[in-house]
Amino acid sequence: LTFQERGGDVFDGVRGRLKRSHGKIRQRGPDYLAYALIDSIVDSYFHILEKVGDRLAQLEEDLINNPDQQILAKVHHYKRELMLLRKSIWPLREVINELQKDESAFIREGTRVFLRDLYDHSVQVLDTVEIFRDTVIGLQDLYMSAVGNRMNEIMKVLTIMASIFIPLTFIAGIYGMNFEYIPELKWRWGYFAVWGFMISCVLG
């Protein structure tokens, strides 16, 4: 999550506008230049958040299809990155707010209009970061739910297996006792009868 993910420098657009002799930046003065530079940074955050949103959507799909520890590690990674992003944007928002409220003669009234619009954009960026943080928390809950469902399926299989073998173990335990007088021991068809009874239990 860096500005370089855009494929170039953050301020390339501002440099291009400065090179044009009749651009607004050259005509409006240094306060508008400061606005243009900060606006480029805020725009870069929008590009970053767009990519983060796409990756979170892909992570959600991966969690639904195959939840594993690697995907959970990626979720934790994006949670840390979003916290870092929030720490970066919050001071920037305060700077923009101070600039638009500043009564200094360096900030002209015509530029304040742009700064107010820029402040709204910074608030929008922060709101988007908060939404994505909630999404990451939801992905963690989704992982726990998916793992719980998988565990329930495993427990269901084990319960079925136990339900089949517990009565068989009970029968084998009875006829495995070392008593001298067990009536069925001298019965000619006793062995086959017990097998038939055990098979009937399994089928039942």
Contact 137, 60 (CB under 8 A): no
Q: What is the pLDDT of residues 66-92, one digit of tens each?
A: 888 888 888 889 889 899 888 888 888
- Say what the pLDDT of residue 4 is: 44
Predicted confidence (pLDDT) at residue 27 exceeds the cutoff of 50: yes
Q: Which residues of 97-134 are buried (b: 16+ CB within 10 A; e: fewer)?
A: bebbeeeeeebeeebbebbeebbebbeebbebbeebbe
Which range among 23-27, 76-80, 155-159, 182-186 shows the weakest confidence by mean pLDDT? 23-27
pLDDT band at 127 (very low <50, low <70, confident <90, very high): very high
Q: Supply the pLDDT for residue 7.
A: 39
Written as six digits, the tokens of 47 are: 């590009």
Task: Indicate whether 155 pLDDT > 90.
Answer: yes
Q: How far apart are CA 103 and CA 94, in angstroms?
A: 16
Tell me the per-residue pLDDT of 94-115, one tens digit each, with 9 for 90 and over.
888 888 777 666 777 777 888 8
For 129-135, what is the mean pLDDT?
91
| Degrees to nearest 5, angle at CA 187 with 186 and 191 | 105
